[in-house]
Structure formats: structure tokens, C-alpha cells
Amino acid sequence: MEDKIRIIFVDDEPNVLGSIRRMLRFKQKEWEFAFAESGAEALALFAERPFDVIVSDIRMPGMDGSELLQRIKQDYHKTIRIALSAQVGLDEVVHSIRSVHQYIAKPCDAKELVSKIDGALKSRDILNDYAMQELVAEIETLPVLPHVFKSVENELNSSEPSIHKIAELISMDVGLVAKIIKLVNSPYFGLPSQVESIFQAITMLGLDTIRALIVGTHLFSMYDATALPDFSLSMLWEHSFRVSNLARSIAEYEGLDRLQIVQARMTGLLHDVGKLVLANSFPKRYRNVLEIVTSENIPVYKGELEVFGTTHAQIGAYLMGLWGMSGDVVYGIGYHHSYDKFDMSVPMLVSVANMIDHQCIIINKEYNRIVVEKNIMHGIGEEKLEEWIAHIAGNWEGIVKFNILDKEMISLLRL
């Protein structure tokens, strides 16, 4: 019989733990629970047998939640770390953010609590390699382009900083987008709903808070281009930006609802975030990936499979799942190279958008071009594809310079 998922809840208020125990009684067949009233008690229970998930209050006497979660991070890398807390000050956010994967507002109902925990656990279904799970669980920073980071700082420090300009600058870097979306979805800020766009985040939080998060938390490492000269972070962003807008355009043309359009755009922007993790964490091994891609004429994700036994899609999905990104976005990231259904879902939209960009923009002439599953192409059909391309070209003036209107495009996409 498969072992149950082990989850520990830590709170200095016995009535809170009692409430959680009652709320989650219906999950007893799937999950094994433990409850601790202090950080010291929690660590003692971990020493007996580690847990898959820890959910801890932040404000506790003695060892607070931030210190406890930092200790868990150091000693039990694979444990998913979730903070359960009422709204607190920005200083406490900055203090705790490096040790927390995601946050749950307090009080919360059983549905929300289970959804958050399930979401983080299900991301492990996408990434099955335990060693990689451990690596990704430890990630607290993502590399960013130095000039983008400096531009954001300069705009924030100007006499009249522009929200539109800052949102535009932040959107130019995959690492910045991923980390800030994680931060602003924290219940610490008391926002009424899930935030899935940078402009929305800045508008709701205000520039002072954004300044503190970006400049004050030191959550971003400057990308070292010399470590992997054949890997361009700028080109990765340009590709991600185009895929984001291609997916959005198709979703809008098909009349999908606002949430699907927002999710398609966010998924497109973050679909290659796993490349940041692999290239930044393993520059020498990723150089081997690029060499294999060139010598064997295969797509990058297949080269990653040969070297790492996993792909950037799986790595990125796991990280975004840990950080509390919505399930559709996580799923879209994880399966953007392998989705095989024509259903106008977020994964399908991003798969098609990614394929269109790879077919039409030659990032490296020695790389194999990406195609999508035959079931999707059969479902779309040549006529529908032509409609999408015409709509994209007619509503996105900037894409014309990337030769999206190339006469050979439709023939390139035929399978």
C-alpha cells in the first residue's frame, strides 16, 4: 500500500489546530496529519520522520514561523513549505519570503487549504525525479538581466515613476515576472483575488511596496552570461514574450473568457522558466544539452532529457506549482511540448503559440524546429490556422518584423 502524504500543521493557538483537524477530517484516508504548538515541537517530530508538507503560522512566540521554515529548508530540502498567517507588515514578508514556497491567508476554509496543498503536491506528478525536486525546492532566486533590473530600479527612483513603464520593464524578464507574481499573491497583502498580471499587481500594491519587494528583498541574482555564452537570456525573453502574445491573440480570436486569456498570456510568458533553472544551476551540463541539440538535430527539450532525465517544461511547472501559481498555468507550462488534445485549453494554446514562434523565428539555424502533436494540428486545420495568422498579423503590428506573414508559413506548419 502506498504511503500516505505526511502533513504537519504548526500554530501556537490550540484552537486553530483543532479547527484544522476538524476541517480536514475528510482527507484522513489520503493524508497523515501531525500537529505542533511550537517550532521546537515541530522539529522534534521531523527528527522522528520527515513530512512532505509543513504548514506553519508565521507569528509565534519563541521560534517564529520564518525561523522554523528556514530550518526546515536547510535540513529537509524536499518538504513543501507553506505559511499560514493573517495579514502582516511588509517587513515580515521580506523576512520570511526566502523560506516560504507559498502562502495561505488566515482564517481559511477547508476548500482553499486543500486546494493549495493539493496544487503543490500535484506538481510532483509532472516532475518525477527526486533529485530535481530537491534542487527546485531549494530555489529562492531566479537570474535576471542586469540591464532590465537596473532600468526598473532607475524608474522606481525617478521623481515621477510610471506604473505602465515599470510593468513594461518587469515584463521584459521572465525571472522578475515569476518571482513578483509569487510575492504579490501572498495573503500578507490582503488582495481580494489571485493576481496574474504585472500591471494589476503594481496598481493594487502601489509603487512603494513594489520598490521594497524588488530592491529590498535581494531575491534576484544577476545573470552571468559568461557561464554559458551559447544561452541568451535576452533571446529567451523575446521568445517568451512573443509566445505570450500569440497565445493571447488566439484566445481572444476564439472568444475565450477573460480568465483563460489571462492564463494563456501568463503561461506563455513563463513556459520556458525551467530553462532559467537548468542553465543557471548547471551551466556545464546545459552546455552539453546545446551541443547534443546541434549534433543530433533534435529539439532542446529532447537534449535536456538525454542529459538531465527531465525537461525545462517539467522543471518550470514544478517550481511554479510550489510557488502557488494556478493549476491551469502550471499544467500549461508542464505540457507545452507534449499536449495532444484539440480543446482550446491553456496548454493547447501555448503549445500552438510556441510552435508558431519556433517555426517562424529562427533563434538558431542549427536547432530543430518545434512541431505540435498531430491531433492538435488535425483539429485546427489549415483554414483555421490561416485565420489565426491573419488575426495575429492584423492586431499586432510589431509581429510583422518577425516575418509571421511569410508566404511559406502555412506549408511549414503542415504535418
**Phi/psi of residue 10, each to 5°?**
-125, 125
Q: What is the pLDDT of residue 156?
A: 80
- Give the least confident one: 199-213, 257-271, 398-412: 398-412
Q: How far, in Å, CA of 32 to CA of 66, rounded? A: 24
The segment with the largest mean pLDDT, out of 149-153, 264-268, 368-372, 392-396, is 264-268
Number of Cα atoms under 13 Å in the Cβ half of residue 90:
12
Cα gap 410→415, rounded to integer Å: 10
Distance separating the N- and C-terminal Cα atoms of the chain: 45
pLDDT of residue 399 exceeding 60, the answer is no
C-alpha cell at 59: 507569528
Options 3.30.420.40, 1.20.1740.10, 1.10.3210.10, 1.10.10.10; CATH of 233-413: 1.10.3210.10
- Tell me what the mean pLDDT of segment 254-267 comes to: 89
pLDDT higher at 13 or 398: 13
CA–CA distance, 355 with 372 (Å, rounded to integer): 6
d(CA 7, CA 52): 6
Tell me which range, 40-49, 122-131, 389-398, is most confidently predicted by mean pLDDT.
40-49
The amino acid at residue 356 is: I
DSSP conformational letter for 223: P
Assess contact for 272 and 235: CB atoms under 8 A: no
pLDDT of residue 303: 94
Cite the DSSP H helix spans in 35-64: 39-48
pLDDT at 388 over 60: yes
Cis before 107? omega within 30? yes
Q: Where in the chain is the domain with CATH 3.40.50.2300?
A: 5-126
Nine cell digits for residue 177: 515576472
pLDDT band at 414 (very low <50, low <70, confident <90, very high): very low
Cβ(137)–Cβ(101) below 8 Å: yes
| Paired residues of 104 in beta bridges | 84
* Mean predicted confidence (pLDDT) in 311-340: 87
The number of CA neighbours under 13 Å toward the Cβ of 334 is: 21
pLDDT of residue 154: 83
Better-predicted residue by pLDDT, 6 or 366: 6
pLDDT 10s digits, 99-108: 788 777 777 7
Say whether pLDDT at 363 is over 60: no
Q: If you average pLDDT over residues 127-146, what whole number do you get? A: 75
Q: Give me the mean pLDDT over the 259-277 stretch.
A: 88
What pTM was computed for the model?
Answer: 0.75
287-292 long-range contacts, Cβ below 8 Å, gap at least 24? 287/228, 287/230, 290/230, 290/231
User: Are 270 and 178 within 8 A, CB to CB?
Assistant: yes
Residue 247 Rama label (left phi>0; alpha psi -120 to 50; beta): alpha
Q: What is the b/e burial string over 104-134, where b = at least 16 CB atoms within 10 angstroms of the residue's CB?
A: bbbebeeeebbebbebbbebbebbebeebbe
pLDDT band of residue 405 (cuts 50, 70, 90) is very low
Architecture of the CATH domain 5-126: 3-Layer(aba) Sandwich (3.40)
More reliable by pLDDT, 301 or 223: 301
pLDDT confidence of residue 415:
42
Output the pLDDT for position 219.
46
Angle between helical axes of 207-216 and 163-170 (0-180°, round to 10): 30
pLDDT category of residue 111 using cuts at 50, 70 and 90: confident
Across the strands, what pairs with 85?
105
Return the pLDDT at 151: 83
Distance CA 145, CA 220 (A): 10
* Residue 126, pLDDT score: 83
Cα–Cα distance list, 155 to 2, 72, 168, 217, 255 (Å): 53, 37, 11, 18, 36
Q: Which of 209, 178, 172 is nearest to 191 (CA)?
A: 209
Residues of the chain with CATH 1.10.3210.10: 233-413
| Degrees to nearest 5, angle at CA 251 with 245 and 257 | 125
Residue 403 has pLDDT above 90, yes or no: no
Cβ–Cβ under 8 Å, residues 10 and 65: yes
- Would you place residue 31 in the very low, low, confident or very high pLDDT band (cuts 50, 70, 90)? very high
Cα angle value 28/32/33 (rounded, 5°): 95
Instruction: Please give the mean pLDDT across all residues of the chain.
Output: 80
pLDDT of 359? 75
What are the tens digits of pLDDT across the range 149-203? 778 878 887 888 888 888 888 877 777 777 777 766 665 555 555 666 677 777 7
Number of C-beta neighbours around residue 257 at 10 A: 9
